[in-house]
Structure 1
């Protein structure tokens, strides 16, 4: 009977651990999705660089759009394109992780289902033993 009680305690502890892992994974998923959503705005703005000609890229002290002289040099179009590439790479990395997160959540769900089943069986066995022992 003591072994069954300890088994129930252990199974509940494992279920709490899985629940904590699930909460953490869901929080990471939400944070990654929020970042990806936010990152699309500057990515889309930087993507408009393809509308600008490459001929003015060498002169950062001149506006690439209108040709006026700038008091402080702006980043070059190539530097901005490099930023766009890095940002797109980060977004792609987040998108690539989605299937792994879904698989991890599904794995946690399956483990929790298995543990709940084991816990129900152990609790049922414990209840049966308690009833057989009488009051």
Structure 2
């Protein structure tokens, strides 16, 4: 397994499936895909705006948690109707930083509503979509 395949697996994203990349404030910055073919695994990045985004910077941001991948569609906020909702990675430190855990919630920056805290991004999105919207 290549380094990029390991990174994709660690992030919980599928190979050859497009994902959206957001910054910590929920701004959509790029679309990306970990593409695996005969030549190996590559990270292909398509910036959302005219700004040039280096695939290496995107990869570094995904690894450090400064950029957040999202592969599932989020339903709009049931409280205010905003489509600006996004899955947000959270670091939970219960007193001892050595016992820090990572969790995910779906958050609406418009009205500050949030979904249930879950251990994976997919579970947080499912929790938002199922518990609040349906």
TM-score (norm 1): 0.20
Q: Which structure dedicates a bigger proportion of its chain to strand? A: 2
Greater percentage in helix: 1
Higher RCO (Cα < 8 Å, 6 or more apart): 1
Q: Which has the larger radius of gyration?
A: 1
